[in-house]
Amino acid sequence: MNRIYKMLAVAAVVSLTGCEDHLDQAPIGLLTPEQVNTDPTLASVISSVNSSYQPLSSTLNILGNWDWNGGKVLRNDFILQDIASGDMQKKWNPDGDQAWMDQVGNFNFTAANGAFNGIWSYDYEGISRANYAISYLEDEAVIQKINIDTQLKNRLLGEAYFLRSFYYFDLVVNFGDVPLLLKPLESFGEAYSVATRVEKEKVWEQIRADLDKAKTLLPDSRYASASEPWRASKGAALAMQAKVALYSQNWQKVVDTVTEMEGLGYYSLNQNYFDSFSTAKEFNEQEVIFAFNHEEGQTPRTGNGLAALMGWGFVAPTQDFVNEFEPNDPRLGLTVNVADQAVYKLLGATDTGNKGNDDSAGNKVFIRWADVLLWKAEALNELGQQQAAVEIINSVRARARTSATADGSMAPAGTLPDRATTADKEQVKQWIMHERRVELGFESQRFNDLRRWNVADEVLTGMGKNFQANNYLYPIPQGEIDKSGGQIMQNAGY
């Protein structure tokens, strides 16, 4: 197997200009495909799967060296989701530093903005790595040579399918039609041949197919590996199936899938809201379903570099976000301490110890049980089952009001009262929209919610943002269009 390997070229999709400079570079934490193909070992094949997780991290500079303009210093979900949605502003004290982030927040960007290049690069790098892992694990010659246990092979293959679906979900939601790569590229000519956008429904079909395989291949346990609980699990695959159904408005599928997850008995709301984010509780709580495992002091680094940006004054709440919280809601103070300018939820502790730490241990939480429950509440409401939907909302609110605040005290009686189970569909929907914003604040969910609810124009123009109808999709990075020789077409309005 004589494959071409392009580590930093735009996700092995279309960037042929200058890619020769990267052909001899090994990916971080992974042997080159040439090494695996020449002399595959169990360790190198496992490493190919492990490396597929890395583009989900907030580790600094895994795809470049302080490439701010290219949006590659770290994974930038917080820009495209939290800043764009009006929950977050770039800095506590606004200035001209990294003005491209402000452009995203104000919706006065162009297709050349680095935010779009950054997320495109991270997602396609993840897809490229997952494709290599899948190709090794489905190659009988490699499997026989490394003598891998069948259960381990299936688990690793399930993880790779899950990760590929996860990256494609992010791409199709942000950009719509995107190039669809399902195997490693064999030549530069093949790279040109796939440099074209595929209709988004075909991408959705592939996401569903990958998740179906992942669910079947991953073991029936809360953690795919007890010794490595950070790996994608069957519960994570089910959660993504429910999320895909949610975005497709397949309401009954959402309810059925979440009900199936409930039947597993793996997840429940933590007693205390902050346990999902505390570095002291990582993988020792009941709510987190999928997270990237940031660790300090590793070689190569795997720490959370977002804490470093916070040390430079980045990542602050908007007043609109702060105003959304009801009086005495503990979640506000556990998310952000405005007085001390500290985002506790992202620092992993209710102090400023990690602020400025470019190798923080705080995990990046992608899916947790409260999020999933609110999907089910939304689906039930759409199906006309308002009472059942409100009961779920009230369970999330009950956990919030009984959680210890950031200073260890308890909220006063009367905080976050239960919602009325007799409310109509529109009222329940408004409650769900509110609850998702305060429960999931700064977890990079908000802008996607506004888009799928089709209220982004109303909400964001109401905040004074220059949001236009075409902004429901982000622009394809201009560099990708240029490198493809025009084969990749731009989204309308850009």
| Residue 471 maps to a domain | no
List the structure tokens of 49: 């799967």
Q: Is the dihedral of CA 15, 21, 27, 30 positive or negative?
A: positive
pLDDT at 36: 52
Summarised one tens digit per residue, pLDDT across range 286-335 is 999 999 999 999 999 999 999 999 999 999 999 999 999 999 999 999 99
pLDDT at 194: 84
CATH of the domain at 2: 1.25.40.390
Summarised one tens digit per residue, pLDDT across range 125-177 is 999 999 999 999 999 999 999 999 999 999 999 999 999 999 999 999 999 99
| Residue 95 maps to a domain | yes
d(CA 226, CA 155): 13
d(CA 207, CA 17): 30
Grouping H, G, I as helix, E, B as strand and the rest as coil, residue 198 is: strand
Domain count, the chain: 1
pLDDT band at 39 (very low <50, low <70, confident <90, very high): confident
| Residue 415 maps to a domain | no
pLDDT band at 252 (very low <50, low <70, confident <90, very high): very high
Q: Is the dihedral of CA 90, 96, 98, 99 positive or negative?
A: positive
Looking at residue 472, what DSSP letter applies?
Answer: G
| Residue 349 maps to a domain | no
Distance between start and end Cα atoms, the chain: 40
Q: Is the pLDDT of residue 30 over 60?
A: no
pLDDT at 189: 73
pLDDT at 33: 55
Q: Is 277 left (phi over 0), alpha (psi -120 to 50) or beta?
A: alpha
| Residue 224 maps to a domain | no
| Residue 55 maps to a domain | yes
Average pLDDT in the 347-375 region? 98
Structural domain boundaries enclosing 17: 1-218
| Residue 83 maps to a domain | yes
Grouping H, G, I as helix, E, B as strand and the rest as coil, residue 281 is: helix
d(CA 472, CA 443): 20
* pTM confidence score: 0.93
Contact 361, 370 (CB under 8 A): no
pLDDT band at 95 (very low <50, low <70, confident <90, very high): very high
| Residue 491 maps to a domain | no
d(CA 149, CA 410): 51
d(CA 45, CA 146): 9
| Residues 6+ away with beta carbon under 8 Å from 327 | 415
